[in-house]
A and B are shown apart, each in its own frame.
Chain A
């Protein structure tokens, strides 16, 4: 199993006041540290128009990391592809691929916040269908010298990518959150699937749905790869781990959940400002794994057995993960 991680500091987290520039420096320093610790990939996310200054262009943050690292993969998690012109996104990815010597991995999601689509100037309603098309444009653009593409939403004739990337094509993953519909889309398209935080039982169900859709579409098993985003909080005792989780809930997740509609119910509707005993809220809290190092190993072994080939652990406890978790996996 591969271990991926990502940087904090690309936003000012509520209750943790700090200079944004210092946070950017920390992001770069953490990339260097993650490489030293043996993580396989280092990531950056994307959001727009937030008071906390959340990074809007993950490839740019990763360009800073690329300048001071040499081997670690640089992964977007997630880059909100329907808010880009796909060829423009491919160009940016190719530029980073050149700067980094071929280390780019694209985690591509669809986004969910209405104001982001309205501000950037694209339609939210068609984002799912556009994501699948745009991913195909990226794959073709990074794989072929010249290509034509005619889809429902995007058309290119005789297009060429500049600069030409090192990887042909660039490694692409479909970030579908915890949506069964998104998992089916990824499976049908034969794209590697990257899940968001979810309790193991939900992860298991989505992975099965993804693989079933992929098999039915005729894709070989080796093409149906899975990664999982997983918050883990490690303590010597359960209360210690839970207190770390509660800090993260308070300074980061609460406003995503309360203000930005981060949680999606089974019918695909975003839930705004849910009470703390709302089933969606409690399910999300349950998905943030708390435990001792041994318990985290045991939990991640379940993911490994499920065929999850990589876990993205955004935890600041990277040293502990490298010392006590990663050696238990090959």
Chain B
């Protein structure tokens, strides 16, 4: 079991909230926490609209935490999204990951999230490619005659193919998104709030993420459905990491341990993320000493 921390600064009243996150995350790293998750937001004056920037700064203050950006697709350019997480991954030497907010939270169709996930994963893994989707098209001039999803150039020499950097002023039909991540395939997560995304993620081998505002019984129900759908699709449980975010305040350590162990048994929970809310948050040191060791095994 991994345990991390998350911050949603959407309603943060001042920008000092971001420097507070840097300090708290560095402290958490010293106590042995595994990950830091920052959610994109734009409501409060201190909201974090670009989690990858904050996490990149954090990557130079600590060398151990896994760094996860929780992003929306509504304002993200998929190319830039792939680039940002790849850059974070290089700066952190393979500690970056990307979680996608549920389509419903953004008022976007689930297909836009699915295509963006597919595009980003292709951009990290493939060299030159193009992409034709309903919501994502790369490069822009990719025509309707291109195959749906990602497609790749012909083998060199078979069709007069020339790589992009030898083309001069011509516009290439296939491009390589660079840099590539340090780790060939950074982990990708998606909130499974809608059924279409739950089924798609289970079949595509995308790890499920359940946010702190989803009630515990709903989380268990949805993760159970995800597990069944993934089994039906023939996916190995070892391919994905089940992540649940929770607000933990003053629960007694035994009750907390029991809750997490039950959830692990029912859902395959592998990564518990403690959402930080400010006053009343569980003490990081006490949790690390009293609870975290009991979650192992």
Measuring CB to CB, which residues of chain A are less than 8 angstroms from any residue of chain B?
Answer: 20-21, 24, 28, 48-57, 59-61, 63-64, 66-68, 84-85, 88, 91-92, 94-96, 98-99, 114-115, 118-121, 162-166, 255, 259-261, 270, 272-273
- Confirm or deny: B272 has a beta carbon within 8 angstroms of a beta carbon on chain A: no
Given contacts A21-B90, A55-B87, A272-B169, contact A163 B48 (CB under 8 A): yes
Contact B83 A115, beta carbon cutoff 8 Å = no
B18 with A114: CB separation less than 8 A: no
When the two chains form their complex, are residues B83 and A48 in contact, meaning their CB atoms are under 8 A apart?
Answer: yes
Contact B90 A115 (CB under 8 A): no
B112 an interface residue at 8 Å Cβ cutoff? no
Cβ of B141: which chain A residues have Cβ within 8 Å of it? 118
Whether the pair A260, B165 counts as a contact (CB closer than 8 A) is yes
A229 to B106, CA, bound (A): 42
Min CB gap A54→B, angstroms: 7
The answer, yes or no, to whether B168 is at the interface (CB within 8 Å) is yes
Is A60 within 8 A of B56, CB to CB? Answer: yes
Contacts of B180 in A (CB 8 A): 53
Residues of A within 8 A of B47 (CB): 162-163
A60-B53, A99-B22, A162-B44 given; A114·B171 CB < 8 A: yes
Please, which residue of chain A has its CB at the minimum distance from the CB of B57? A67
Which of A56, A96, A260 is in CB contact (< 8 Å) with B83?
A56
- Chain B CB within 10 A, most for which of A52, A84, A88: A88
Instruction: Report how far A165 CA is from B45 CA in the complex, Å.
Output: 9
**Nearest-CB residue, chain A, relative to B44:** A162
Say yes or no for B64: interface residue by CB 8 A criterion: no
Interface centre among A50, A61, A99, A120 (most CB of B within 10 A): A99
Q: Which residue of B lies closest to A97 (CB)?
A: B15
- Given the complex of chains A and B, what is the CA–CA distance between A88 and B79 in angstroms? 14
Give complex CA distance A118, B140 in Å: 5
Q: A64-B57, A162-B43, A163-B18 are in contact. Are A57 and B87 (CB under 8 A)?
A: yes
Q: Taking A53-B180, A57-B83, A166-B15 as contacts, is the C-beta distance between A96 and B60 under 8 angstroms?
A: no
Contact with A along B161-196 (1 / 0, CB 8 A): 001111111111001111110100000000000000
Which of B19, B42, B49, B56 is most buried by chain A, counting CB atoms within 10 A of its CB?
A: B56
Question: Given A51-B176, A98-B15, A163-B46, A60 and B169 touching (CB < 8 A)?
Answer: no
Partner of B54, one of A55, A57, A95, A261: A95
Residue of A nearest to B59 (CB): A64
Q: Does B274 contact A (CB under 8 A)?
A: no
For residue B117, CB closer than 8 A to chain A, the reply is no
Instruction: Find chain B residues with CB under 8 A from A20 CB.
Output: 90, 179, 182
Check: B80 CB closer than 8 A to any chain A CB: yes
Tell me whether B4 is interfacial, beta carbon within 8 Å.
no
Interface centre among B41, B90, B139, B170 (most CB of A within 10 A): B90
| Total chain B interface residues with beta-carbon distance under 8 A | 58
Residues on B close to A: CB < 8 A?
Answer: 9, 12, 15, 18-19, 22, 41-50, 52-54, 56-61, 75, 77, 79-80, 83-84, 87-88, 90-91, 93, 137-141, 163-172, 175-180, 182
Distance of A260 Cα from B164 Cα, bound (Å): 10
> B60, A56: Cβ atoms under 8 Å?
no
Bound-complex Cα distance A56 to B88 (A):
12
Q: In the docked arrangement, what's the CA distance between A76 and B212, Å? A: 37
Bound-state Cα–Cα, A328 to B18, Å? 40
Given contacts A99-B18, A115-B172, A162-B42, contact A56 B178 (CB under 8 A): yes
**Contact B56 A92, beta carbon cutoff 8 Å:** no
CA distance A162 to B169 in the complex (A): 38
The docked-state distance in angstroms from the alpha carbon of A185 to that of B141 is 30
- State in angstroms the CA–CA spacing of A164 and B45 once bound together: 5
- Within 8 Å CB of B167, what residues of A? 115
Docked pose: A66 CA to B91 CA in angstroms: 13
Interface centre among B9, B45, B52, B165 (most CB of A within 10 A): B165
A182 shortest CB reach to chain B, Å:
20
| Contact between B169 and A163, CB atoms less than 8 A apart | no
The answer to whether A24 and B91 have CB atoms under 8 Å apart is: yes
CB of A277 to closest CB in B, whole Å: 19
Q: Complex: how many Å from CA A272 to CA B165?
A: 12
B80 touches A60 (CB 8 A): no
Contact B56 A64 (CB under 8 A): yes
Given known A63-B57, A67-B58, contact A98–B19 (CB-CB < 8 A): yes
Can you show 30 pairs from A to B with CB atoms below 8 A apart?
A49-B164, A49-B177, A51-B163, A53-B180, A54-B178, A56-B83, A57-B84, A60-B88, A63-B53, A63-B57, A64-B56, A68-B60, A68-B61, A84-B80, A88-B75, A91-B50, A95-B18, A98-B46, A99-B53, A115-B171, A118-B139, A118-B140, A119-B79, A121-B137, A121-B138, A162-B42, A162-B47, A259-B165, A261-B168, A261-B169
Smallest beta-carbon distance A117→chain B, Å = 8
A52 contacts which chain B residues (CB < 8 A)?
178
Bound-state Cα–Cα, A142 to B18, Å: 17
Q: How far is the CB of B60 from chain A (nearest CB, A)?
A: 4
Closest chain-B Cβ to A60's Cβ sits at a distance in Å of 5
Q: What 17 new A-B contacts, CB under 8 Å, besides A60-B87, A121-B79? A: A21-B93, A54-B179, A56-B178, A56-B179, A63-B56, A63-B57, A84-B80, A91-B42, A92-B50, A99-B19, A99-B54, A120-B80, A162-B45, A162-B46, A163-B12, A163-B18, A164-B45
The winner among A49, A51, A114, A164 for most chain B CB atoms within 10 A is A49
Residues of A contacting B93 in the complex (Cβ-Cβ under 8 angstroms):
21
Residues of A within 8 A of B22 (CB): 67, 99
- Which residues of A lie under 8 Å from residue B18 when comparing CB positions? 95, 98-99, 163
